[in-house]
Structure 1
């Protein structure tokens, strides 16, 4: 291999390994699909409406009629970075870096027979984004990025006997990954250059679930969701480089990068217990395989050579616990509330500036009203506190040192829902 090709590949690897942590940081597993009122507590065991097709397909056997459920809503984030004195780059905190996202889901369950149900779920449970603007202190790390996904999940369930139901589904997802950052030209009178890329890909997965009813007042649900692998490939778009970095465009412009991004596999165990005829308690424990998300191969290819580098962002598996309750305080009204905790998938030393997740605390509540025997409407809200997310990194003289934490790091989810029974 010629010296020029070697230099090109080496430069490309160094460049993409610099930005790959942020590019992968766009991935976030979300429980906020369907009804938000219990903050995910009991999600694998509730089986109270058609959204069980997406959370535990085995629960579809508890629906006595065909059902359709829609849940439109919005994600309203507040993400404000406080700059620490150790930061070496000039600029501001970036303001509210949170990006408004419309959210929504659709679920349909068809009662084929007394023991068999068929369901279809359309939702997004993976992705997020951030936009810090062009003048914030971390602009040489990232200024804007997003991962937007959508998923279609057909499923089927079978009631084995009075106390056991089983279900399974397959999913097809489509994802769009975008990333932008500035490049420091290192000349006082030369403005910053820019790096950006965009990529689309699809992924397939599967899920299985069981639902146990050992006694009349208790339901236990157990689900497994397989990993779903996106393979984003792109050619970088580089603009505005000064005379000192002009060679970067020539060497990197023809290079293609391939970055795999995995929605991690997960296991969820849920229980719902009817304490009183109008009052139920529920809980979850869960596990997500984020360590696999943080270890991946990066492919770099030029016209004459292809190289693969193994990367490790030192992610850790996470645990999830949740508790909640539902109280029917009137014949037509149901009130829900819940709390959930998820451990942090990444330490301070490896945290992404654009996805500043720390431990996560979720607080949810909601109301549902039975309009008649066939239609139920509701509204729910959830606050996710993603923690202070202290961040510290050094990436050489051009990118500089970036340190700080987040004074606000909240995601507000609000949704309406309507259920039709046929």
Structure 2
């Protein structure tokens, strides 16, 4: 009996353990079957990954839009004919009010100069085989720009002059079209600026003059690019911004005349800080990327953009009574332009430090002026500016490489009080090789510019009072 009782207990214990194991199997088995349903969903993860990349791409235009500017010497004034050589020491007309205000003291009469013309660019991109996005080269991406300027110098006394200049010396634009290979980086961008510069000059002695001015500028920044919807049958979306802002700055200069045949000019132009604020405008997002709109809805970004400070040293030497040589050595602070904070305002305020890895640039220029008879003056010049950015950091919105300027012009004295002139300059902005990679949505963009020219044509007229 006792043995039988022990045997039954063992069987009961075994059956109880077996039931427990079966219950565990029922609990564990559904979970084991459910796990593949949670983890094995590559399409969903790809969508999330795509969304994250798209957000990065949509914000990456901040650096591209910031690059949409180039500091230009070409205001349409007669020094266009010397490719800006001798600019800070020429002091031969009212445009010195902007170039070097100290030079105003060399003008014997009050003087008005107006200039108008055009910028005719030729910018053609050759696509390299490493480019991963389909599309064309964008054709001529250069954008036609009108040129116009106004300079006035008033002779207040024998030693004191007042001046005012209205001109633009900062900006650029490009339009590659909607089907070019770099459309996920940029399709169109421009920065247009204009400034007014009142100034004053004083002749300290017969060999030294000093001058200073104050700048007030207004700028308009626009940018457009495409967004890759990552679905073959869904057309590209779009990203755009437009913003206006103003900036303040100043310039100072000195003019030395150690001997009667030599003029030496030195000028400093302060930086001018724009702060463009905008809300990104996104259109045409596909079903997988509409999350971007919700992510950036209500977000405002601030892009600071600085016209770099610069220093220019110029000389003009009268070799013969009818022949003069002139030259420049200059410096521009582009490294400061490349380092900036991007401010983003939403529910949480934050700032992102960015660096475009720009470098300071230098300029060397040489020119000449030859007087032909009593009425005609012929000018010619050449200038070299180093590249502000390397191949690895160059962006399509600012394709400038090293810059070579070739200028020529003529002036004709209609009478004692009126002189008319014309000038032409071509700026070769170099091959500008580009090698950008911004993830699978924007792709890799590589290539160079087979032509990268800016052609400036201007007419000017001078009135003496």
- Fold agreement, TM-score > 0.5: yes
Partner of 1:108: 152
**Secondary structure of 1:244's partner?**
coil
Q: Equivalences for 1:2-17 in 2 at 5 Å?
A: 14-15=56-57, 17=59
Aligned-pair distance for 1:12? 9.8
The structure carrying a bigger helix percent of its residues is: 2
Deviation at residue 254 of structure 1 after TM alignment: 1.4
Residue deviations 1:308-357 (CA, integer Å, cap 9, x gap): 01111111000001000000011100000000000000000111102100
Aligned 8 A contact 2:118 2:146 in 1: yes
Deviations 1:20-71, CA, capped at 9 Å, x for gaps: 2211111110000112100000000000000000100000000000000001
Give the corresponding residue for 1:80: 124
Superposition pairs of residues 51-130 of structure 1, within 5 angstroms: 51-130=95-174
Task: Look up the match of 1:381.
Answer: 424
- Could you tell me whether the CA contact under 8 Å between 2:124 and 2:140 is conserved in 1? yes
Deviations 1:161-213 (A, max 9, x none): 10000000000000000000000001111000000000000000010000000
The correspondence for 1:191, drawn from 235, 251, 270, is: 235
Residues 357-382 of structure 1, C-alpha deviations (whole Å, 9 max, x = no match): 00000000000000000000000000
- Note if 1:20 corresponds to 2:62: yes
What TM-score results when the alignment is normalised by the length of structure 1? 0.96
Instruction: Tell me how far 1:19 sits from its aligned partner.
Output: 1.3
Q: How many residues align?
A: 413
Query: 1:27–1:126: 8 Å Cα contact kept in structure 2?
Result: yes
Write out per-residue CA displacement over residues 109-146 of structure 1, whole angstroms, 9 at most, x where no aligned residue: 00000000000000000000000000000000000000
Q: Is the 8 A contact 2:58 2:227 kept in 1?
A: no
1:249 is matched with: 293
| Stretches of structure 1 lacking an aligned partner (at least 5 in a row) | 1-9
Deviation per CA, 1:80-133, whole angstroms, max 9, x where unpaired?
A: 000000001000000000000001110000000000000000000000000000
| d(CA) in 1 for partners of 2:259, 2:65 | 48
Larger Rg, first or second structure (1 or 2): 2
Q: Secondary structure at the match of 2:102?
A: helix
RMSD after superposition: 1.2
* Partner secondary structure for residue 91 of structure 1: coil
What does 1:258-277 align with in structure 2 at a 5 Å threshold?
A: 258-277=302-321
Provide the TM-score with structure 2 as the length reference: 0.88
Partner in structure 1 of residue 367 of structure 2: 324
Q: Distance in 2 between matches of 1:86 and 1:224?
A: 43
Contact 1:144 / 1:179 at 8 angstroms: preserved in 2? yes
Aligned to 2:244, which of 197, 200, 219? 200
Are the counterparts in 2 of residues 12 and 255 from structure 1 also a CA contact under 8 Å?
Answer: no
CA distance in 2, matches of 1:198, 1:89: 26
Task: Show CA shifts across 1:230-256 (max 9, x none).
Answer: 000000000000000011011112111
Distance 2:463 2:200 in 1: 20
Structure-1 residue corresponding to 2:277: 233
Q: Residue 294 of structure 1 aligns with which residue? A: 338
- Contact preservation (8 Å) 1:12, 1:252: no
Deviations 1:272-308 (A, max 9, x none): 0000000000000000000000000001111x10110
Question: Map of 1:328-367 to 2, 5 A cutoff?
Answer: 328-367=371-410
Tell me how far apart the structure 2 counterparts of residues 197 and 48 of structure 1 sit (CA, whole Å).
Answer: 42
Does 1:31 find its partner at 2:65? no
Alignment gaps of 5+ in structure 2:
1-51
Q: Is the 8 A contact 1:237 1:253 kept in 2?
A: no
| Alpha-carbon contact 1:13-1:300 (below 8 Å) kept | no
Q: Which runs of 4+ in 1 moved over 6 A?
A: 10-13
> Which residue does 1:149 correspond to in 2?
193
